[in-house]
Amino acid sequence: MTRLIQLICKGFEVVIALFLAAMVVLVFGNVVLRYGFDSSIDMSDEVSRWLFIWVTFLGAVVALQRHEHLGVDMVVDRLPDLGKKICLVLGHVVMLAVTWFLFEGSWAQVQLNTDVSAPSTELPMAIMYVPGAIFAAMAGLILLTNLWRVLTGQLSTADLVMVQASEEATQLEEILGAAQAPQHGAPRSGSST
């Protein structure tokens, strides 16, 4: 199952890159047309907004799969392994409930807006709500897989904290870790020369 999730997330990364490129072309092209040629692409703003929504939700799936969402691990990191497991299981159960609610709400919006047309493209407005349902389904699958790995003991102690501190905190830890590591060729304290 983990391999399938990784493959789907790789596909999402390609889709995200294509959608970002399309957004740049649409927005930049529209700016050039407006200021250079006193013209515009009518559907540019609408399509760019939809692409941004898709990029956001697909990117959230990829970040969840990689455990790259920001979190605070100040308390959990200090707990013993059993405490970390309990917190991880409780956190996953709560997140599964939230993703279920998100899926229900998104799917209801998809069904309600299938017959509603967008103003400029005249495409169904349901397109705007599909990414929420996709995110919820994929997030649920990822969370269930992680929960299974916790309950069956497949996670190492280092993997029990599944959040990432801010980039600054991570960089600070790396710097402090490098400063505390013994230098190659330097005498270690307590060694005789």
Query: Does residue 148 have a pLDDT over 90?
Result: no
Is residue 185 included in any domain, yes or no? no
Can you give the pLDDT at residue 173? 66
How many separate domains does the chain show? 1
Is residue 173 included in any domain, yes or no? no
Is residue 183 included in any domain, yes or no? no
Residue 90 CB partners (closer than 8 Å, separation 6+): none
Can you give the pLDDT at residue 104? 94
Can you give the pLDDT at residue 167? 60
Residue 53 CB partners (closer than 8 Å, separation 6+): 128, 131
Q: Which residues pair with 124 in a beta bridge?
A: 117
Q: pTM for this structure?
A: 0.73
pLDDT (tens digit per residue) in 1-36: 778 888 888 888 899 999 999 988 888 888 887 777
Is residue 150 included in any domain, yes or no? yes
Is residue 64 included in any domain, yes or no? yes
Instruction: Look up residue 104 and give its two tokens.
Output: 């229900």
pLDDT (tens digit per residue) in 106-142: 999 999 988 888 887 888 888 889 999 999 999 999 9
Query: Does residue 189 have a pLDDT over 50?
Result: no
Mean pLDDT of 167-180: 66
Can you give the pLDDT at residue 135? 93
Q: Are residues 18 and 58 in contact, defined by beta-carbon separation less than 8 angstroms? A: no
What count of residues does the chain have?
A: 193
Range of the domain at 105: 2-166
Quick check: helix, strand or coil at residue 150?
A: helix
CA distance 193 to 185: 12
Is residue 189 included in any domain, yes or no? no
Q: Are residues 73 and 163 in contact, defined by beta-carbon separation less than 8 angstroms? A: yes
Query: Does residue 99 have a pLDDT over 80?
Result: yes
Is residue 23 included in any domain, yes or no? yes
Is residue 186 included in any domain, yes or no? no
